[in-house]
Amino acid sequence: GQIFSANLHVAYLALSPKMPIDPQIIRFKTKLETDISLVALANSITLTPGTITVDIREGEFFVHALDRKVAYELSTGEMEDKIAHVFMEADHVYIQDVLDVSRIFGVLK
């Protein structure tokens, strides 16, 4: 569901004559604790069209997103919850704190 929706959205962004992108870096904290679950989350994010995991430091993720919609979908915690279930880390774990969302072009001004 989520990856299919992201594919359609990225196709729209790429094929739109105006390319309405709004690139952002999202920094968030996760409750996932094991290295394998952190890597699984990072890979899942990167496999989702329109996002790429840039860095992970002490439970904080830095993710590039093509626009606000992609950033918002990431912040729902759905992916993190599924990974928590797979690795039996918790019953329901969601992204705890979105610490920062920076518009890339705004930062470069």
Domain locations in the chain as residue ranges: 2-108
pLDDT band at 10 (very low <50, low <70, confident <90, very high): confident
Judge whether residue 46 has pLDDT over 80. yes
% the chain with pLDDT above 90: 26
> Which H or E run contains 97?
strand 97-103
pLDDT at 109: 38
**C-alpha distance across the termini of the chain, in Å:** 36
- What does CATH list as the number for 2-108? 3.30.70
To the nearest whole number, what is the mean pLDDT of the chain? 81
Judge whether residue 45 has pLDDT over 80. yes
C-alpha distance from residue 93 to each of 10, 86, 103 (Å):
27, 12, 27
**Number of other residues whose CB lies within 10 A of the CB of residue 36:** 12
